[in-house]
Amino acid sequence: MNYIALAVWAKPDMTIAESIGVALVGICVVLLELALLALFIKLLSKIISVFGKKKKAEEPAPSETAPAPEASPAAAPVNGPVLTDVDDPTAAVIMAIVSNKSGIPLERLSFKSIKLLEDK
């Protein structure tokens, strides 16, 4: 990329109108270079995305290379949280409160254990 250097020397006898003109020319040059840089970045991203799509098309899908490993019984998820000294209705209320206060839907939360803490 070729750059154009614009050098303006301030003269002691410059009027305000000339100073404003020089400032506007400088601002326009900077904005033009920024616009050219933005266009260059967009062009570069399009070129990279085209090569990325070709590379993805050449790679085989994971299902074609090897079958997915089966989950072992030891790694099976627990149906619900482990409750220690808490009955089911109380645990349900606690889970509903946590979901409501955090703003996360209940189906996206995963409770590992709920236990009662003794007051001391």
Amino acid (1-letter code) at residue 103: G
Residue-level pLDDT at 86: 86
Spatial contact of 84 and 115, defined as CB atoms under 8 Å apart: yes
- Measure the CA–CA gap between 62 and 68, rounded to whole angstroms: 8
Percent pLDDT > 90 in the chain is 30
pLDDT value of residue 46: 92
Q: Residue 7 contacts by C-beta under 8 Å, 6 or more apart in sequence?
A: none
Residue 70 pLDDT > 90, yes or no? no
Residue 44 pLDDT exceeds 90: yes
| pLDDT at residue number 72 | 46
Q: pLDDT tens, 26-39?
A: 999 999 999 999 99
Contact criterion met (CB below 8 Å) for 118 and 84: no
Q: What is the pTM of this model?
A: 0.36
